[in-house]
Chain A
Amino acid sequence: QKEVEQNSGPLSVPEGAIASLNCTYSDRGSQSFFWYRQYSGKSPELIMSIYSNGDKEDGRFTAQLNKASQYVSLLIRDSQPSDSATYLCAVTDSGTYKYIFGTGTRLKVLA
């Protein structure tokens, strides 16, 4: 069973700090990696995608991918209370190209 592992949290950070969210995956052949943000009672919203090793930056968000370690992370700089949500990591299954989701990490940004 291919899996995506995330710490469920909550991860609490003060406003203005850097929030670091981590994800590991079991399928060594996965090629595509995504971070979604989900507010309580709402649907997942795509915030970052990354396909190659290294860092990808978009505004306050940076995704980091290390395929050798099967590890993908999301950094949120200058965290705001509005960033408080559950962050879902997703990867594509190398055999079927389906998306495999983690259970999500709940982030709380304290004002």
Chain B
Amino acid sequence: ETGVTQTPRHLVMGMTNKKSLKCEQHLGHNAMYWYKQSAKKPLELMFVYSLEERVENNSVPSRFSPECPNSSHLFLHLHTLQPEDSALYLCASSQDVGGREAFFGQGTRLTVV
């Protein structure tokens, strides 16, 4: 079983749909992250959770709503997205916020139509 698992791997959704991305880590880490990766751009940090508490919200539009029910699980709820939100969404975890290595899940390729 891989350390950080994301589902689904691919998602196509209409602009009026509601969907959720799921991330689960089996590494015993305390920090979890959501990143967005668009073509030709650096990874964009969206949200950071440390021990289930949100410690960072990088001016992300409210149509993205994170949820961290426990230190092993992280969700990203999506609602009324725009076509420009189409990207690869990556979940990562690290032992604590920053400092040491972060490990990524396989990502969810999201297409908004």
A residues in contact (CB < 8 Å) with B: 4, 31-32, 34, 36, 41-46, 49, 88, 90, 92-93, 96-104
Contact present for B99 and A98 (CB under 8 Å): no
Contact present for B42 and A4 (CB under 8 Å): yes
Which 10 pairs of residues, A with B, have the shortest CB-CB distance? A97-B98, A101-B43, A43-B104, A43-B107, A92-B98, A101-B42, A103-B42, A44-B104, A43-B106, A49-B101
Contact present for A43 and B105 (CB under 8 Å): yes
- Nearest CB of A to B45, in Å: 6
Contact present for B99 and A42 (CB under 8 Å): no
Contact present for A88 and B43 (CB under 8 Å): yes
> Using Cβ atoms and an 8 Å threshold, which residues of chain B touch A41?
109
Chain A, Cβ-Cβ closest to B94: A99
Which secondary structure dominates where chain B touches chain A?
loop
Contact present for A98 and B48 (CB under 8 Å): yes
Contact present for A97 and B101 (CB under 8 Å): no
B74 at the binding interface (Cβ < 8 Å): no
- Nearest CB of A to B12, in Å: 16
Using an 8 Å CB-CB cutoff, how does the interface string of B24-53 with A read, 1 for contact, 0 for none?
000000000100000011110100100000
B97 at the binding interface (Cβ < 8 Å): yes
Contact present for B101 and A92 (CB under 8 Å): no
Contact present for A99 and B102 (CB under 8 Å): yes
Contact A45/B100 with A98-B45, A101-B42, A103-B41 known, Cβ cut-off 8 Å? no
Contact present for B100 and A49 (CB under 8 Å): yes
The residue that B97 contacts in the complex, of A36, A97, A103, with Cβ under 8 A, is A97
Contact present for A31 and B40 (CB under 8 Å): no
> Using Cβ atoms and an 8 Å threshold, which residues of chain B touch A93?
98
A40 to B98, CA, bound (A): 26
